């Protein structure tokens, strides 16, 4: 019987394809919530125009989703639904940077990082612009 996912990890099923013949290998990846959140935070910090991640505004407490697990460090909240994630984050941006452009860049880069590093899909990335600062 395969190991069951625990409430303290994000999981995704993967299949690797051998390079030279052989059979594909199936397995499950378990990622600690802190690693998932840190991957997102590091990716966002590298986006040109982002000054820093900020604490997000608090949403009213909702009942946990029966289909997903939610992890939150105050700056990034991630809900995992199988191999899809939804994330909420807040950033301060540099004065003069277009909001539409920077939010597009954040979505693209987080989506690519999650796909490349974890084999997961970012189905929703909600961004709250907390401040525009002169640097």
pLDDT band at 41 (very low <50, low <70, confident <90, very high): very high
Q: pLDDT (tens digit, 9 = 90+) per residue, 68-101? A: 889 999 999 999 998 899 999 999 999 999 999 9
Superfamily for the 33-133 domain: Cation efflux protein, cytoplasmic domain (3.30.70.1350)
Q: pLDDT (tens digit, 9 = 90+) per residue, 1-23? A: 444 444 567 766 666 666 677 77
Output the pLDDT for position 39. Answer: 96
pLDDT band at 28 (very low <50, low <70, confident <90, very high): confident
Domain ranges of the chain: 33-133
Q: What's the whole-model pTM score?
A: 0.79
**Measured distance CA(36)–CA(78) in Å, rounded:** 8
15, with CB counted inside 10 A (0-12, 13-18, 19+), is: exposed
pLDDT band at 58 (very low <50, low <70, confident <90, very high): confident
Output the pLDDT for position 6. Answer: 45
Q: What is the DSSP string of 66-96?
A: TT-EEEE-SSEEEEEETTEEEEEEEEEEETT
Output the pLDDT for position 77. Answer: 94
Q: How far apart are the first and last CA of the chain?
A: 55
């Amino acid at each position: 019987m395969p190991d069951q996912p625990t409430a303290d990890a994000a999981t995704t099923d993967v299949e690797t394809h051998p390079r030279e013949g052989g059979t594909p290998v199936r397995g499950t990846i378990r990622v600690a919530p802190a690693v998932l959140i840190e991957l997102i935070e590091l990716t966002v910090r590298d986006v040109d125009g982002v000054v820093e991640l900020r604490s997000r505004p608090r949403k009213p407490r909702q009942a946990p989703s029966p289909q997903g697990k939610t992890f939150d460090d105050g700056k990034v909240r991630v809900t995992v639904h199988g191999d899809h994630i939804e994330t909420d984050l807040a950033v301060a941006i540099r004065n003069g940077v277009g909001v539409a452009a920077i939010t597009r860049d954040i979505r693209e880069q987080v989506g690519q990082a999650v796909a490349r590093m974890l084999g997961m899909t970012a189905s929703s990335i909600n961004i709250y612009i907390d401040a525009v600062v002169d640097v």
